Structure 1
Amino acid sequence: MPIINFQGQKILCKIGENLRKILLKNDLNLYNGKAKYINCMGIGSCGTCAVQIEGEVNAPNWKDKARRSFPPHSRDRDLRLACQTEVLGDITVTKYDGFWGHKTHKKLKDN
């Protein structure tokens, strides 16, 4: 079973599970500020669940690529939408600051 490292926590999941669902199920703060209440609920249109991932996950789908191709996101950043990401192996997930998680510095505390 893959291990997800996020905000100092280690979570086990099944191969192929959706990253957003796993983080929320484990009461981990995926969203910054009011994005916790104002988000697309996992359909891939808002971009507020953007995270950096190191490890094995599925290739970005068209929703992930499309949303990250316009501001405040950028195709040049190595972010992914947690709602469109399947965990395939051990991963480390980093959430950055900003409503969309698009800033270049790490989130230091939970909101």
Structure 2
Amino acid sequence: MPTVQAEGKTFTCESGANLRQVMLDNGIDVYNGAASVINCHGLGTCGTCAVQVQGAVSEPEWREKTRLSLPPHNLENGRRLSCQVKVLGDVTVTKYDGLWGQGDRVMWTPERVV
């Protein structure tokens, strides 16, 4: 079973599990500020669950690429929409500031809350 490391916690999930749901199920808030109330609930349209993911995950599909190509996101920063990511192996997750997680300041790392 793949291991997910986020916000100082480590937990396992089934291969192919949705990263957003796995983190929410394990007490990790993938949203910043008001985005915890105002979000698309995993449809991939709002962009507020953006995180940096390292490890074995699914490739981005058209919906995710489209949303991440629109402001305030930028495809070059390497963020992913956690609601569109399937966990395929061990991963580490980092969350950044900004309503959409698009900022430069780290909110939490795989190892700890900043």
Same fold (TM over 0.5): yes
Q: Percent sequence identity over matched residues?
A: 48
CA distance in 2, matches of 1:46, 1:11: 26
Cα distance in 2 for residues equivalent to 1:44 and 1:61? 10
Partner of 1:34: 34
Determine the C-alpha separation between the residues in 2 that align with 1:54 and 1:20.
15
Taking the aligned partners of 1:41 and 1:101, their CA distance within structure 2 comes to 15
Once the two structures are superposed, the pairs formed by residues 44-55 of structure 1 within 5 Å of their partners are 44-55=44-55
Which amino acid is the alignment partner of residue 33 of structure 1? G
**One-letter identity of the residue aligned with 1:32:** N
Q: Normalising by the residue count of structure 1, what TM-score does the alignment of the two structures yield?
A: 0.95
Q: CA deviation at 1:18?
A: 0.2
CA RMSD of aligned residues (A): 1.2
- 1:90 Cα deviation from its structure 2 partner: 0.3
C-alpha distance in structure 2 between counterparts of 1:19 and 1:75, whole Å: 19
Structure 2 SS opposite 1:83: helix
Give 1:91's aligned residue. 91
Alpha-carbon distance in 2 for matches of 1:45, 1:99: 14
- For the residue of structure 2 that corresponds to 1:95, the secondary structure is strand
Size of the aligned set, in residue pairs, is: 110
For 1:82, the equivalent position in structure 2 comes to 82
1:106 corresponds to 2:106? yes
Which AA in structure 2 matches 1:57? V
After the TM superposition, which parts of structure 1 deviate over 6 Å for at least 4 consecutive aligned residues?
none
Task: State which drifts further: 49-58 or 24-33.
Answer: 24-33
1:90 match: secondary structure = strand
Q: Secondary structure at the match of 1:10?
A: strand
What does residue 17 of structure 2 align with?
17
Report SS of the residue matched to 1:72. coil
- Give the 5 Å matches for 1:49-68: 49-68=49-68
Match of 1:69 in 2: 69
Deviation at 1:91, TM superposition (A): 0.4
TM-score, normalized by length of structure 2? 0.93
